[in-house]
């Protein structure tokens, strides 16, 4: 007796549900992704080998660019400390800063890179004007007028009772006199411990820094 053949039918899979899930996941990642903000100051840091990851809390960053200019900035989350610093500078130097001028210092990625004599006019600039502004830098090379000393003193007072993470970020072509002036300002305020921000290279596999770089490739970290 011949075997009955079952007619073949093409298989049809409904992909509607799969597409919905894919678009939901895509929407989730787009809405939750946080992009790294671009650096306000372009600096090419030197390379080094380090095994330590810098703490990103209570950060005070002193930057030296290749033109020999010095800048200071605080973490965007440290708004109370930023307010305390600008209030102290205003009080000590008698600048008569307005509330609006002080508020501009609280903006994300804000920095100071001007002498005290230009601070008031600098804080009056709009964000677009700041991008095109050529900062002369905070005076640090004149031993009789090292203004970084007062900025560091104000920062110390603002972070009193907290662990302050002081970072120095210098361009690979930064001038030595600027670095020496910053060191003098730190010593005058009895600060002898800080971290240097560098571009990690050849990080030993398995260290905390290696694991961090695997999660955030290309992210600069520090070396003491």
Indicate whether 157 belongs to any domain: yes
- What does the block give as tokens for 205? 């596999």
Residue 54's φ and ψ, nearest 5 degrees, are -75, 145
- The answer as to whether 10 is a domain residue is no
* Total structural domains within the chain: 1
Is 12 a domain residue? no
Counting residues of the chain whose pLDDT is more than 90, the rounded percentage is: 43
Per the domain annotation, does 86 fall within a domain? Answer: yes
DSSP character at residue 77: T
- Cα–Cα–Cα angle for 40, 207, 62, nearest 5°? 25
The mean pLDDT value for 186-191 works out to: 93
- Beta-bridge mates of residue 141: none
Interatomic CA distance for residues 186 and 148, integer angstroms = 8
Q: Which is more confident, 171 or 84?
A: 84
In contact, 165 and 98? CB cutoff 8 Å: no
Confidence of residue 215 (pLDDT cuts 50, 70, 90): low
Residue 9 included in any domain? no
**Using CB atoms within 10 A of its CB, is residue 184 exposed (0-12), middle (13-18) or buried (19+)?**
middle
Question: Is there a domain that residue 29 lies in?
Answer: no
Encode pLDDT of 85-119 as tens digits: 999 999 999 999 999 999 999 998 899 999 999 99
Q: Percent of the chain beyond pLDDT 70?
A: 71
Whether the pLDDT of residue 222 is over 60: the answer is no
pLDDT at 42 > cutoff 80: no
Q: Domain span at residue 159?
A: 47-223
How far is CA 39 from its chain centroid? 7
**pLDDT score, position 52:** 61
For residue 13, being part of any structural domain is answered with no
Res 161 pLDDT > 80: yes
Q: Mean pLDDT highest for which of 6-15, 55-64, 183-192? A: 183-192
The mean pLDDT of 148-158, rounded to a whole number, is 96
Instruction: Give the phi and the psi of residue 141 in degrees, each rounded to 5.
Output: -85, -20
- CA–CA dist 202, 25 (Å, integer): 35
**Alpha-carbon distance values, 159 to 60, 86, 184, 191, 203 (Å):** 10, 13, 20, 13, 32
- Determine which of 105-114, 139-148, 191-200 has the lowest per-residue pLDDT on average: 191-200
Q: Which residue has the higher pLDDT, 223 or 133?
A: 133
**DSSP code of residue 63:** E
Q: Kind and range of the H or E element at 16?
A: helix 16-32
Average confidence score pLDDT of the chain:
81
Separation CA 74–CA 78 (nearest Å): 7
Relative to beta strand 59-64, strand 47-48 is: unpaired
In a domain, 124, yes or no: yes
Q: Which of 11, 189, 138, 157 is nearest to 88 (CA)?
A: 157
Which residue in 114, 122, 130 sits closest to 71, CA to CA?
114
């Amino acid at each position: 007796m011949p075997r009955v053949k079952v007619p073949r039918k093409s298989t049809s899979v409904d992909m509607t549900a799969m597409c919905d899930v894919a678009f939901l996941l895509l929407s989730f990642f787009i809405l939750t992704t946080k992009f790294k903000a671009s650096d306000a100051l372009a600096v090419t840091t030197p390379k080094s080998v380090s095994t330590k990851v810098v703490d990103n809390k209570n950060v005070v960053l002193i930057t030296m660019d290749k033109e020999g200019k010095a800048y200071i900035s605080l973490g965007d989350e440290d708004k109370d400390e930023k307010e305390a610093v600008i209030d102290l500078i205003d009080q000590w130097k008698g600048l008569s800063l307005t509330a609006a001028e002080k508020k501009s210092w609280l903006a994300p990625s804000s920095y100071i890179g001007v002498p005290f004599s230009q601070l008031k006019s600098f804080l009056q600039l709009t964000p677009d004007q700041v991008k095109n502004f050529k900062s002369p830098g905070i005076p640090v090379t004149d031993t009789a007028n090292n203004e970084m000393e007062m900025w560091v003193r104000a920062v110390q007072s603002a972070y009193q009772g907290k662990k302050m993470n002081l970072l120095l970020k210098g361009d690979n072509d930064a001038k030595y006199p600027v670095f020496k002036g910053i060191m003098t300002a730190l010593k005058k305020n009895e600060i002898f411990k800080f971290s240097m921000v560098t571009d990690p290279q050849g990080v030993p596999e398995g260290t905390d820094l290696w694991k961090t770089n695997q999660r955030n490739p290309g992210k600069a970290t520090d070396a003491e």
